[in-house]
Chains A and B, each alone.
Chain A
Amino acid sequence: AQKVTQAQTEISVVEKEDVTLDCVYETRDTTYYLFWYKQPPSGELVFLIRRNSFDEQNEISGRYSWNFQKSTSSFNFTITASQVVDSAVYFCALSEDRDDKIIFGKGTRLHILP
């Protein structure tokens, strides 16, 4: 069965520090998709990235970067030079190719302290 584990429940860092959010997944499928979503205090869910299982290339988007390693079933998310506006709950999620539903991890609440 598919499963997403975000072991870090809550993280606090001081502004401008780098922070990495961990995500470990389980799936029996060879084709699957991994996601990261951000949920700021306002409550809306913001799509950040999707990665398919055939593409292990790491991705960088501004201060955000993602490290996908199939060997360890991990899809970690790093924020460089964090800012207060990065404070939010971040969800890692998984979708298997057999259907389109997304299974979410429990989320990591990130506090960026000024």
Chain B
Amino acid sequence: SAVISQKPSRDICQRGTSLTIQCQVDSQVTMMFWYRQQPGQSLTLIATANQGSEATYESGFVIDKFPISRPNLTFSTLTVSNMSPEDSSIYLCSVDKGRGSYEQYFGPGTRLTVT
């Protein structure tokens, strides 16, 4: 398995501000993913982040709102920009151990509340 940490674990932010969430993995991984889980809902994929290339965003998510960085094989950040109360969610990063494994592990999540 992979050990994944996220910072911060939770935050309360004001409308209009931005928050950057960090995801650190204890081993090198090719693919990292960012998900959003709105209250009481399932997980929705925001984007896929590969090291050395631009993140690939899913329908309904745009780079201006959710910029992602992937500077190396163990780290990624997701920024939630110009926040509104609708952005209140749990944000999770996950990693794939690589083709042939298809075991995807999730970080503990960042619980974001926007007031």
Q: Which residues of A are at the interface with B, using a C-beta cutoff of 8 A?
A: 33, 35, 37, 43-45, 47, 50, 52, 91, 95, 99-107
Q: How far is the CA of A29 from the CA of B85 in the complex (A)?
A: 38
- Contact residues in A for B108 (Cβ distance below 8 Å): 43-44
CB pairs A–B below 8 angstroms (24 shown): A33-B102, A35-B104, A43-B108, A43-B111, A44-B108, A44-B109, A45-B43, A45-B92, A45-B94, A47-B105, A47-B106, A50-B102, A50-B103, A52-B102, A95-B104, A99-B48, A100-B48, A100-B96, A101-B33, A102-B45, A104-B42, A104-B43, A106-B42, A107-B42
Nearest neighbor of B44 in chain A, beta-carbon distance: A104
Q: How far is the CA of A99 from the CA of B109 in the complex (A)?
A: 23
- Contact residues in B for A52 (Cβ distance below 8 Å): 102
Q: How far is the CA of A101 from the CA of B99 in the complex (A)?
A: 12
Nearest neighbor of B109 in chain A, beta-carbon distance: A43
- Contact residues in B for A50 (Cβ distance below 8 Å): 102-103
Q: Which residues of B are at the interface with A, using a C-beta cutoff of 8 A?
A: 1, 31, 33, 41-45, 48, 58, 90, 92, 94, 96, 99, 102-106, 108-109, 111
Please list the 9 inter-chain residue pairs (A to B) with the smallest Cβ-Cβ separation, ordered nearest first: A45-B106, A104-B43, A106-B42, A104-B42, A33-B102, A44-B108, A100-B96, A107-B42, A101-B45
Chain B at the A interface: SS class? strand
The answer to whether A47 touches B104, judged by C-beta atoms less than 8 angstroms apart, is yes
The answer to whether A95 touches B33, judged by C-beta atoms less than 8 angstroms apart, is no
Known: A100-B96, A101-B33, A101-B48. A47 touches B103 (CB 8 A): yes
